Amino acid sequence: MKSIGIIGAGMAGLTAALDLVKQGNNVTIYEASDQVGGLSSGFKDPQWDWSVEKYYHHWFASDRHILGLIEELGWSDRVLFPRPYTVMYYKEKWYPLDSVSSALLFPGLGWGINKIRFGLAVLYLRLTNHWEPLEKSTAETWMRKWAGNQVYETMWKPMIDGKFGEKYAEQVNMAWMWARFHARTNRLGTYKGGFQAFNNDMANHLRSLGVEIKLNSTVERITINPKGGFSLRTQQGAHNYDRVLVTTSPAIFAKITPQLPNEYLQGLLSLTSMGAVAMTLAIKHQLSEKGYYWFNLPKQAGFPFLALVEHTNYLSPDYFGGDHIIYCGDYLEPDHEYFQLSKDELLERFLPALKRINPKFERNWIRKVWLHRAKYAQPVPLLNQSKIIPPIQTPLDGLYFASMSQVYPWDRGTNFAVEIARKAVKLIQAK
């Protein structure tokens, strides 16, 4: 038996705790916030039966790691796969974009050779397993070469520009784009009660197995004990462990562990990421009367955020006391002004976009507004990114790091959080 401290109660921390306690270890999780779940955590209005995610989340039907974990727990009957509809903006109209066939009908592609090149490029990305050569090219260069300039300009450039901004859009590598085509499905899943219900079920199950979860417990420092193991210092005092697994952002890990060798520290600090801003509105009426779930919004067309997601065109408003739930979401650099503006100031920026989507929309439709912001939400995959990913096993024996910055070439999400957590557990148990 080992005593193991885990920092972070997101999906990686919860999964690692589950596997480690089942192997007979004494496990404690430290979480800085007042709830488990990390970026997949949610909130609940008093009149709702289900929670809503702070940052819109779903599972893909191909997410074998998270769905496999749920099956192991015997909770597969609690997973739902409703049929949502995604649309893209083109010349003041919205067009379906949730399958290859619908994408081929997208008028922005033009006709003839453009559609053929688009189809062949997508087919190649879906079929090939060899992503390594793709990280040597930017997504822009590769897509322009193989799918064509018009396809890139009208379909992919607005998405990449919106997600990574002017600073990074032209530097994002093609392996990241490959992962999106290769691993994602049109079917989107969720958990009965919302993601927070799943997180709470996980936490309660862990507690029943003997895992201690310390909420509102920020780890301020990790230090090496002279006699072996590590000490975690919090405001409540110091606690000693044989092994420690950290699942925070690279920047936080570097800050609380100054004893890491300089080369590893610099590697952590060299990793780049975007933040996320998500405004959630409970409104009285359906915004998209056609039932669209996900609107991809090009900022070049004057939209002030990247995506509008009408959650209740995916799940019934009955779960939310009759409220219609919409998200206004964006990925932004951590120093962007959206991280400083108040909720009311940001709402004023966003309201005109809602009117563009439904001219009938009026401000008095809004019953309540919530705003959530995270400065570490989306790693930026640059050229040859695999060469700078820090290993899970740090240079300090017994100290491990597993974050969404290391799931590359895959995109962040609970599915790959489960996968990297289980990789970390294998390394911990091998010692």
Q: Are 51 and 59 a contacting pair, CB within 8 Å?
A: no
- Which tokens hold the place of 253? 């890990």
SS3 143: helix
State the Rg of the chain over Cα.
22
Q: Which residues of the chain are under the pLDDT cut of 70?
A: none
- DSSP secondary structure string, 291-317? ---EEE--GGGT-SSSEEEEGGGTS-G
Q: CATH number of 3-34+215-271+388-430: 3.30.1360.170, 3.50.50.60, 3.30.470.20, 3.90.79.10?
A: 3.50.50.60
Q: What is the pTM of this model?
A: 0.94
Name every residue whose Cβ is closer than 8 Å to that of residue 356 and which is 6 or more positions away in sequence: 303
- Which tokens hold the place of 230? 């590590």
Task: Enumerate the CATH 3.90.660.20 domain ranges in the chain, comma separated.
Answer: 41-63+72-97+186-193+273-379
SS3 251: helix
Task: Enumerate the CATH 3.50.50.60 domain ranges in the chain, comma separated.
Answer: 3-34+215-271+388-430
Positive or negative, the CA dihedral 149, 154, 160, 161 is positive
Q: Are 417 and 15 a contacting pair, CB within 8 Å?
A: yes
* pLDDT value, residue 108: 79
Name every residue whose Cβ is closer than 8 Å to that of residue 358 and which is 6 or more positions away in sequence: 287, 288, 289
Q: Report which of 119, 114, 116, 123 is spatially closest to residue 150, judged by C-alpha positions.
A: 114
- In DSSP terms, which residues pair with 354 in a beta bridge? none
Number of Cβ atoms within 10 Å of the Cβ of 397 = 11
CA distance 355 to 4: 52
CA distance 370 to 397: 43
The shares of helix, strand and coil residues in the chain, as percent rounded to the nearest 5, are 40, 25, 35
Beta pairing, strands 26-30 & 3-7: parallel
Q: Are 267 and 388 a contacting pair, CB within 8 Å?
A: yes
User: Cα–chain-centroid distance for residue 383?
Assistant: 21
* pLDDT value, residue 380: 97
- 394-416 pLDDT, tens digit each: 999 999 999 999 999 998 899 99
- Which tokens hold the place of 393? 């096993």
Q: How far is CA 287 from CA 69, 313, 323, in A?
A: 35, 9, 11
* φ, ψ (nearest 5 deg) of residue 331: -105, 130
* pLDDT value, residue 367: 98
SS3 363: helix
* φ, ψ (nearest 5 deg) of residue 310: -95, 95
User: Looking at the domain 41-63+72-97+186-193+273-379, which fold is it?
Assistant: Polyamine Oxidase; Chain A, domain 2 (3.90.660)
User: Cα–chain-centroid distance for residue 404?
Assistant: 8
* pLDDT value, residue 201: 98
Q: Report which of 146, 158, 157, 155 is spatially closest to residue 102, judged by C-alpha positions.
A: 155
Q: Report which of 113, 174, 178, 107 is spatially closest to residue 140, judged by C-alpha positions.
A: 174
* pLDDT value, residue 114: 86
Which 3-state string (H, E, C) describes 161-227?
HHHHHHHHHHHCEHHHHHHHHHHCCCCEEEECCCHHHHHHHHHHHHHHCCCEEECCCCCCEEEECCC
CA distance 330 to 71: 32
Q: Report which of 175, 191, 218 is spatially closest to residue 314, judged by C-alpha positions.
A: 191
* φ, ψ (nearest 5 deg) of residue 85: -125, 130
Q: Report which of 58, 159, 53 is spatially closest to residue 372, judged by C-alpha positions.
A: 53
User: Cα–chain-centroid distance for residue 144?
Assistant: 27
* pLDDT value, residue 343: 98
Residue type, 134: L
